[in-house]
Amino acid sequence: MPSPIALSPSSPPPSLFLKKKKSSLSQIPPFPTAASYLSALHEADARARGQVVTPTSTPPLSISSSLTSASGDTVLNEPDADRSGLTYPLTAPTSEQVFTTVHTEFGHCANQDYRCVSQHDSEKPVAEHKIEEPPYYILFTTYFSYLLLIIFGHLRDFFGKQFAKSYFTHLVPYNGYAPLNSDFDSFYTRRLKRRMDDCFSYPVTGVAGRTILVYDRYSEDCNYTQMYPGTKTRALNISSYNYLGFAQTSGGCADAVEESIKRYGISMSGTRREGGTCDLHQTAEALVARFVGMEDALISSMGFATNSTFIPALVGKGCLVISDEHNHASIRVGVRQSGAHVRMFKHNDMDSLEALLREVISQGQPRTHRPWKKILVIVEGLYSMEGTMVNLPKVVELKQKYKFYLFVDEAHSIGALGPHGRGVTDYFNIPPRSIDVLMGTFTKSFGAAGGYIAGCKELINSLRLRGHSGPYAEAMTPPVLMQVVASMASIMGVASPTSSNPKASSQALTVAPQADEYIHPGMAPASSLPTWLSLPPSLSDGSEARERIRRLAFNSRYLHAGLNKLGFITYGHPFSPIVPLLIFNPGKMATFARMMRARRPTPIVVVVVAYPATPLVTSRVRFCVSGAHTKDDIDIILRACDEVGDILDLKHGHGERWPLEEIMKRSVELVNSL
Amino acid sequence: MSAGNATLEPLLTWLTLILAQLERTFYKVPGSAVIARYVRSSHQNDPGRTVLELILIVFAVRTLMQSRSRDKSEGKLIKFSEKEIDELIDEWTPEPLSAPLTEWEQRDLASVPVIAGPNGPKPKILSTGKTVINLASYNFAGLAGNEHIKERAIETLRKYGLGSCGPPGFYGTVDVHLELERDIADFLGTESAILYSQGFVTISSVIPAFCKRGDIIVADRAVNFAIQKGIQISRSTVRWYDHNDLKSLEDVLISVEKDRRKRGTPITRRFIITEGIFERDGEIVDLPKLIELKHKYKYRLILDESISFGSVGRTGRGLTELYNVPASQVDMLVGSVANGLCSAGGFCAGSTIVTEHQRINGTSFVFSASMPPLLAVAGSEGISFLRNTPSALTSLQENVRAVRAVLEKTEGIAVVGHRASPIVHFHLKIPCIANGSANGIATNPTTVMPPPTGPSFDYEAEEKILQDIVDDALANGVFITRAKRLRGQEMVETRPTVRIVVTAALTKKEIEKAAGVVKGSVAKVLGKRKA
């Protein structure tokens, strides 16, 4: 059963190194007006409906042709909708192609060449992460910009306190109260961040899929207040954590969630240990354990809280936590609450980790020099600001030697990495059980919310009992649980109970011989899912999700490679869906975001981050690629970066440079050459 | 000799020339005259003084070059050879990652009932397949299972999808989040509100956003676990007052002020942190008196209304409505959307300055994805339900009275908490006395430990009896729960209790019948124990 996301029946097994038959550029249809394009689309759609037999068991809601838009805002009255490529693909679908997704949420891309398998080549060593240095004048002007901002900030504070007292009431003591926030602590926020506040916290509406509707806003008083005229703009979304494109309003997952709301309601009205546990929790936990390849798993209703409330149950006084310096804030909060001693090692630097391990084990606890009770090394699978991937083979090797416990935070990597989407262990083909604790979130790849911790049964039971979330935090709500179950089951594929259908599951997934037996990374036994759940065939055979994973891998690599060939400095692993592009100067950073948003016909919304989330000099824009993006979308982003990068002087990479057209034309070759 | 001099002579002249050249260049540098004058005046024909100056310079340079890392033990490291280190590594055996569960802990874990299908006033238990009356879940106003809210949630799903896929700062602020924030602020009558995606982490994020090192927190001894964690992270100076004793609070406030006067330190930020309805025992704080004290001693008030929001007051606005105090008098009013509105998440309401500050400094706001839009819509719908249905809160209060009336007459247990509290805790009247008595310590605001009131209890024995009661009640069709605590992690060990959560979704008759079942279970379990 071919995938209905991208159906191209006659496509031979893609030979990636052959010269491409058709370039994507030549496919842009020569339709002069929106009307003619639409009518052509109508025609193609009508033909497709007539010819292709759509899966009959699919619930009616998920059959939506390329023309129907399930979003509440009708796409037709959006200006520029025709040329932007946002609401309709730039490449018109051919008669054989039937897409069941809404293009604004999940892009239509039928070309099987634009796929890639995310897998580590075990013969190659794990690539060290190289950091390219910018020219000195860039560093100088960056420091100078900050200096200027600080000087002007202090000047404005000084004169402001004399002449515009009303703005400073909350910063000075009044009426016997100390100021709520000291002007020193809030200096950065008031004087540096406020200048570019228009780049953050944009209110949006609708689904955060491939495109997103942002509310227009402007400020007349230097970002103190924002004015909303009430209009909205649809923009290409390269910012949301929607790696596999499960942020959708239609399709099998949304249908399952709707059914779950009807059956279970909205909330479990209580904590897990005080009557807030339902059968869906057990189903989801068992499924997560299978998905990641561990004995057992527990689920927490918030990703941040998964770290901050369960790490204290793992370590305590007399224990040592060794943490990567770029670990997420939630890990830091959790470690701080635990009372354990913390040491940091240089980001992803295995030599630094080993040296530290040798030191701490030989020296023991400070002052008393008693041996540590236990040492927990906490690393992330993919680092959210750097896009780097942990050198897991080396960490596991060190673990054998130094006997520490290993906690891998897969918040970003689960779903997004590995040929089966099972995260960083799948990518490196390392047995998951060689790691003690696997943690991850459902926010990113699964389009849900919350997080999980997986490990051996004894550990998980102990965490259920001793973690803070069990007795005090609200249980995960049924709709969120259902989204987790449905999206996860669709990534795994569902083994039919009779297992008499080897054809459907022959490709990359191994067939579970019996319904209850599970070999990692295999399909989910049908018995492990709620009986009332009926996923459409494309989801239950895993073909659609496989497409999503492969599209994500291609898009990630293509954007990485494309930006490098354009001459930008980027960080991170080529397979990482997080692609940070270095901007350095704080002023350019804000300008970059504004210019991208102001682009027509296709506005692009980007995430820019600066100090304190990053080191002072390395301000960056962080692209989050999704499997919902098409190759055309990445082309649009590359073109935008190319043009904006020229204006802002951002191209400081040392590698070989290609012109944009060549990058776009030779994309497949580029992706495979990395 | 002279030959030697002769050969040296050109060298010496050359050196003199160089020196002269250097001197000239030195004087050409602007400001060099000042340095020369300084050196000359400090030298004063005394080489010792110059040496001292030089030493000072060397010392200054060394201090500047020194690494500023915190590790003072670096110098105190014991030197080992590589071989010794290898041996030490071989010898080291870590403790297991998780201590195995005790028998009681295993029972505790297994005793958690699993609900099949939706939760509500009458859920079905998975293991028995029986429908029971639910007095365990936070469903105060009876919002669970509300058909209109379900419909709205499905509409939202079809427009927004499920997850928000991003933190609020990065395109995760959906319009429905802002609407819920506005709804909450309107409902309570504050300037604004900020939405967190889980109730539990809300206050433990709000506290450290404002309370920093050196600030003063005065807190109740029986505050809930989330507040304890928030206080722990804030690293502020903490003073404790006796549980729900505002006289004790005033004493502490006076002593803090006295202390400050004595030391002559400038005013720092000062906060009073307490709960509206205590999650631990259902006591209600005397809000008007608290506000009076706060104003008198110039403290800011962080009030956790996680239980009281959506459950007390004429329309469920919480303690401020119950006592008719404007909510704007509370500086940071923290509540739970999960408990009060049967959805998920938490909020902090207050002035715009307070909420905007958290949008950058609230750790779990900034670093976490925003809550799924459909849950935010469910929250908004919950508020409009509360606004339009004051009868729900009236029947809730009637039910509370009915439950208390039955339980207070039950032999062998003591019902604690305030009359109006929708959560009713009871513990055993006759304690299981543990061996050994508590050490006497006077009330001391610097420690969280309360003054000793009597012999210490055998917690586990009491927990077991209470669990028997809970199990028996469940077998007879009433779902209640012990108030689960993390013993050993809580700052203060409190008496184990059974918690009954009253709901407006049940009729008075059903509630009375359920309370009667609990009464019967108590009598049965305690009777068996005596026998």
Residue reference for tokens 């509440």: A72
Q: Taking CB atoms and an 8 Å limit, are B157 and A258 in contact across chains?
A: yes
Fold for the domain defined by A1-247+542-674 = Aspartate Aminotransferase, domain 1 (3.90.1150)
Q: Which amino acid is at A232?
A: K
| Chain B: residue whose CA lies nearest to A448 | B163
Q: Taking CB atoms and an 8 Å limit, are A465 and B101 in contact across chains?
A: yes
Task: Find which of A69, A231, A304, A376 to mutate to test the B interface (most B CBs within 10 Å of its CB).
Answer: A304
pLDDT value of position A149: 92
Q: Taking CB atoms and an 8 Å limit, are B97 and A436 in contact across chains?
A: yes
Q: Taking CB atoms and an 8 Å limit, are A483 and B144 in contact across chains?
A: no
Q: Which of B98, B197, B360 sits opposite A449 (nearest CB)?
A: B197
pLDDT value of position A57: 38
Q: Taking CB atoms and an 8 Å limit, are B344 and A474 in contact across chains?
A: yes
What DSSP assignment string belongs to A525-562?
A: EGGGS-TT----HHHHTSHHHHHHHHHHHHHHHHHHHH
* A chain contacts of residue B342, beta-carbon cutoff 8 Å: 266-267, 269
Q: Which of A214, A314, A337 sits opposite B233 (nearest CB)?
A: A337
> What's the Cα-to-Cα distance from A424 to each of A187, A238, A408, A415, B38, rounded to whole Å?
40, 22, 9, 9, 65
Q: Which amino acid is at A173?
A: P
Q: Which ipTM was obtained for this model?
A: 0.85
What are the structural domain ranges in chain B? 103-143+391-443+451-530, 147-389
| Chain B: residue whose CA lies nearest to A259 | B154
What are the structural domain ranges in chain A? 1-247+542-674, 269-492
Chain pair A-B, CB pairs under 8 angstroms: 364
Instruction: Give the three-class secondary structure for A237.
Output: strand
Instruction: Give the three-class secondary structure for B415.
Output: strand
pLDDT value of position A40: 59
When pLDDT is averaged across residues A167-171 and rounded to a whole number, the result is 79
Rounded-to-integer distance, Cα A261 and Cα B117, Å: 10
Lowest-confidence segment of A188-192, A352-356, B475-479 by average pLDDT: A188-192
Mode of pairing for the β-strands spanning A619-624 and A607-609: antiparallel
How many angstroms away from the CA of A459 is the closest CA of chain B?
Answer: 5
* A chain contacts of residue B194, beta-carbon cutoff 8 Å: none
Q: Taking CB atoms and an 8 Å limit, are B499 and A282 in contact across chains?
A: no
Whether domain A269-492 has CATH 2.40.50.140:
no
* A chain contacts of residue B97, beta-carbon cutoff 8 Å: 314, 374, 376, 405, 436-437, 459
Could you tell me what percent of chain B has a pLDDT over 70? Answer: 94
* A chain contacts of residue B173, beta-carbon cutoff 8 Å: 201-204
Determine contact, residues B280/B483, Cβ cutoff 8 Å: yes
pLDDT value of position A47: 54
Determine contact, residues A123/A32, Cβ cutoff 8 Å: no
Q: A46 pLDDT band (50/70/90 cuts)? A: low
Which residues 81-140 of chain A have a CB within 8 Å of chain B? Answer: 105
**Strand arrangement of the beta sheet that strand A607-609 belongs to:** A578-584, A619-624, A607-609
When pLDDT is averaged across residues A457-463 and rounded to a whole number, the result is 94
pLDDT value of position B70: 54
Give B395-430 pLDDT, tens digit per residue: 999 999 999 999 999 989 999 999 999 999 999 988
Judged against a pLDDT cut of 50, whether residue A28 lies above it is answered with no
Judged against a pLDDT cut of 90, whether residue A502 lies above it is answered with no
Q: Taking CB atoms and an 8 Å limit, are A405 and B366 in contact across chains?
A: no
A76: Cβ contacts below 8 Å, ≥ 6 apart = none
Task: Find which of B162, B177, B270, B332 to mutate to test the A interface (most A CBs within 10 Å of its CB).
Answer: B162
The more confidently predicted of residues A503 and B41 is B41
- Residue A257 has phi, psi (to 5 degrees) of -65, -40
Rounded-to-integer distance, Cα B219 and Cα B272, Å: 6
How many angstroms away from the CA of B41 is the closest CA of chain A?
Answer: 37
* A chain contacts of residue B171, beta-carbon cutoff 8 Å: 202, 204, 208, 212, 214, 237, 239-240, 605, 607
Q: Taking CB atoms and an 8 Å limit, are B161 and A276 in contact across chains?
A: no
Architecture of the domain defined by B147-389: 3-Layer(aba) Sandwich (3.40)
Q: Taking CB atoms and an 8 Å limit, are B363 and A366 in contact across chains?
A: no
Q: Taking CB atoms and an 8 Å limit, are A437 and B486 in contact across chains?
A: no
Judged against a pLDDT cut of 70, whether residue A399 lies above it is answered with yes
pLDDT value of position A518: 74
Rounded-to-integer distance, Cα A292 and Cα A431, Å: 10
Rounded-to-integer distance, Cα B378 and Cα B375, Å: 5
Judged against a pLDDT cut of 50, whether residue A630 lies above it is answered with yes
Please state the CATH superfamily assignment of the domain spanning residues B103-143+391-443+451-530 in this structure.
Aspartate Aminotransferase, domain 1 (3.90.1150.10)
Number of helices followed by number of strands (H, E) in chain A: 19, 16
Judged against a pLDDT cut of 70, whether residue A6 lies above it is answered with no
| Chain B: residue whose CA lies nearest to A244 | B165
Nearest to A548 by CA among A443, A627, A491: A627
pLDDT value of position A12: 43
Q: Taking CB atoms and an 8 Å limit, are B369 and A443 in contact across chains?
A: yes
* B chain contacts of residue A245, beta-carbon cutoff 8 Å: none
Rounded-to-integer distance, Cα B198 and Cα B184, Å: 16
